[in-house]
Amino acid sequence: MPELPEAETIARGLERALRNRVIESVEIRRRSNVIAPWGMRVDRILEKETIAHVGRRGKYVVILLGSGRRLIVQLRMTGRLLVLRPGERPPPASHVVLWTRGGEGLAFADVRKLGRVRIAGRHEAWDEALGLEPLAPGFTVGAFTAMLAGRTTPVKVLLLDQRRIAGIGNIYACEALWEAGIRPTRPAKAVSRAAAQRLHRAIVDVLTRAIELRGSSIDDYVDADGDRGGFQDALRVYGKRGMPCPRCGRAIVRTVLAGRGTWWCRRCQR
């Protein structure tokens, strides 16, 4: 599932290609539940709107429209947002296609139909259930330490809780915990202040490097131009079961924690 770096990479690509473009027409190519709420006439609402800005919130791509409405896209497992050049045909499994006056298009394609496209009103607080942005100024060591305090939840499970930190998923939680040398199953409240500082630094570092390499293409993810990311080649532990730990050489193990595969080093992450 695309996480913060992938959503950020896609948003930046869409911003470069489509900012200030006017939506001339909208194709709803497949009537399915990817459009939420079901039955909303997205085509009528979006026609003649201007794409004012494309950004991100957590794992969501957020397209700000000239009216103040926002088009919120949740990619989930196989969703893709792809820029179409003039004359280019939408890819298979496209559900919604926006065409601009300049001829460019934006296609939302999703083979498994797990992604969602919805329109949020100008004053709608659609993201109030999402937590802190880990690359924003508000994500301080103090705020992170307070988040851990008193919680018996395993620290990795807490990192995946979008109500506390928005955008971290399984890949980057595993990588940050390895970088900080913290066992994934350790109760959050048992993480020392020094370890919390290391983990805070590791979260920011891992996410920043992943964005620089345009995300991780492990399965279906591609950016707005259809290109694969590069961070999958820089992963240290995720998906590396049985391979030597880059730090100590011991074999990486895979365990299941709260239903999620978790890769880590028993020697380095004590």
β-strand pairing of 253-257 with 51-57: unpaired
Active-site residue, selected from the candidate residues 3, 6, 8, 49:
3
Active-site residue, selected from the candidate residues 29, 113, 260, 266:
260
Q: Per this entry, what is the length of the chain? A: 270
Quote the CA–CA distance of 35 and 44 in Å, as a whole number.
14
Residue 104: active-site member: no
Find out whether 267 and 252 touch, Cβ atoms under 8 Å.
no
Active-site residue, selected from the candidate residues 21, 56, 57, 59:
59
Find out whether 155 and 182 touch, Cβ atoms under 8 Å.
yes
Find out whether 21 and 51 touch, Cβ atoms under 8 Å.
yes
Active-site residue, selected from the candidate residues 2, 5, 134, 184:
2
Taken in order 101, 105, 106, 111, is the CA torsion positive or negative? positive
Quote the CA–CA distance of 32 and 246 in Å, as a whole number.
45
Residue 59: active-site member: yes
Quote the CA–CA distance of 64 and 54 in Å, as a whole number.
6
Q: Which residues are catalytic?
A: 2-3, 59, 260
